[in-house]
Amino acid sequence: MSAKETIAILGGTGDLGTGLAIRWSKAGYNIVIGSRTQEKADAAVAALAEISPNTPAQAMENAAAAAAGDIVVLTVPADHQISTLDGVKDSLKGKILIDVTVPLVPPKVGTVQMPPEGSAGKRAQDHLGEDVHVVSAFQNIAAHLLQQDVVIECDVLVAGNNKESRQRVIDLIKEAGMNGWHAGPIANAAAAEALTSILIQINRSGIVSHSGIKIIGQEH
Ligand SMILES: NC(=O)c1ccc[n+]([C@@H]2O[C@H](COP(=O)([O-])OP(=O)(O)OC[C@H]3O[C@@H](n4cnc5c(N)ncnc54)[C@H](OP(=O)(O)O)[C@@H]3O)[C@@H](O)[C@H]2O)c1
């Protein structure tokens, strides 16, 4: 298999990071699982090797993972988004940072409660500066669907200030088995982040589970 880029997933030991690691590893990407502890990263890589034995993967602490990644993905809970970025900031310059954060505020996770910056994606971009291409994606995708070998019907809204970086992430989304759409600048991450609370409400109705969105239109 030809060498593809290295994707480093910070907090890649968690639910969403595990799902993305499985999908991109199966697509042939070299995966680096980042964690606060080497032991947790080692265990996650061992589990990934069981599922995707033919693609290399490495385990590192988050700072080393961010340095090793050509593309870096942040998959930690919203409360720890900025503190985690602070620990890796210098390694992100010139790279794409995919931010998946949904700023849910328990216990009212079915109510939209956006942060003062407007969205978690915008908060990350403001914090890191324009040297880092923050691209917001995956807010409406359930982690356990990513982890399973199933077709995911839900589309992915992709927001970021740099169009080429958005397109790169849309290509990665395709390789992970979903459709991504240009959703405009990082400020527009607010829409996908807010939508998660709406989908939670729809799931609670009991009529469907795993609700999602699909973009429709007439083809040109
Ligand atoms: N779960 C979903 O279905 C889903 C869907 C869409 C978006 N998201 C978003 O994806 C992100 C991750 O969600 P998740 O469900 O995967 O979360 P999670 O499993 O609860 O946590 C992910 C990882 O974050 C790290 N972490 C935990 N506490 C931390 C702290 N205090 N400081 C730094 N790192 C810490 C842990 O890694 P280590 O202990 O190894 O460091 C953990 O494995 C969230 O922002 C969420 O909004 C989730």
Is 65 in contact with 32 (CB distance < 8 Å)?
yes
Residue bearing the CA closest to ligand 1, atom 7:
139
- Cβ atoms < 10 Å from Cβ of 45: 22
Whether 119 shows a pLDDT value over 60: the answer reads yes
Of the candidates 79, 68, 125, 66, the residue with the CA atom closest to the CA atom of residue 99: 125
Would you give the DSSP letter of residue 187? G
> Given ligand 1 and candidates 36, 76, 101, which is best to mutate, with the most ligand atoms within 8 Å of its CB?
76
Q: What is the mean pLDDT of the chain?
A: 97
Tokens 């923050």 found at: 134
DSSP code per residue over 3-40: PPPEEEEETTTSHHHHHHHHHHHHTT-EEEEEESSHHH
CATH superfamily of this structure's domain 6-204? NAD(P)-binding Rossmann-like Domain (3.40.50.720)
Residue 21 CA, ligand 1 centroid: distance in Å: 13
Residue 26 CA, ligand 1 centroid: distance in Å: 22
At residue 155, what is the residue type? D
Of the candidates 200, 201, 186, 195, the residue with the CA atom closest to the CA atom of residue 214: 195
What is the Cα–Cα distance from 202 to 193, expressed in whole angstroms? Answer: 15
The dihedral built from the CA positions of residue 115, 116, 122 and 123, taken in this order, carries a sign that is: negative
Give residue-wise pLDDT tens across range 39-89: 999 999 999 999 999 999 999 999 999 999 999 999 999 999 999 999 999
Residue 218 CA, ligand 1 centroid: distance in Å: 37
pLDDT band at 211 (very low <50, low <70, confident <90, very high): very high
Residue 194 CA, ligand 1 centroid: distance in Å: 18
What is the Cα–Cα distance from 108 to 105, expressed in whole angstroms? Answer: 6
At residue 63, the pLDDT reads: 98
pLDDT band at 3 (very low <50, low <70, confident <90, very high): low
Atom of ligand 1 nearest to the CA of 80: 32
Residue 78 CA, ligand 1 centroid: distance in Å: 8
pLDDT band at 1 (very low <50, low <70, confident <90, very high): very low
Q: Is 75 helix (H, G, I), strand (E, B) or coil?
A: coil
Whether 187 shows a pLDDT value over 50: the answer reads yes
If you average pLDDT over residues 171-175, what whole number do you get?
A: 98
If you average pLDDT over residues 203-214, what whole number do you get?
A: 96
Residue 152 CA, ligand 1 centroid: distance in Å: 21
Residue bearing the CA closest to ligand 1, atom 26:
76
If you average pLDDT over residues 20-34, what whole number do you get?
A: 98
pLDDT band at 148 (very low <50, low <70, confident <90, very high): very high
Whether 196 shows a pLDDT value over 70: the answer reads yes
Residue bearing the CA closest to ligand 1, atom 6:
139
Residue 1 CA, ligand 1 centroid: distance in Å: 31
Residues with CB under 6 A from ligand 1: 11, 13-17, 35-36, 40, 75-78, 80, 84, 100-102, 138-139, 141-143
Is 40 in contact with 65 (CB distance < 8 Å)?
no
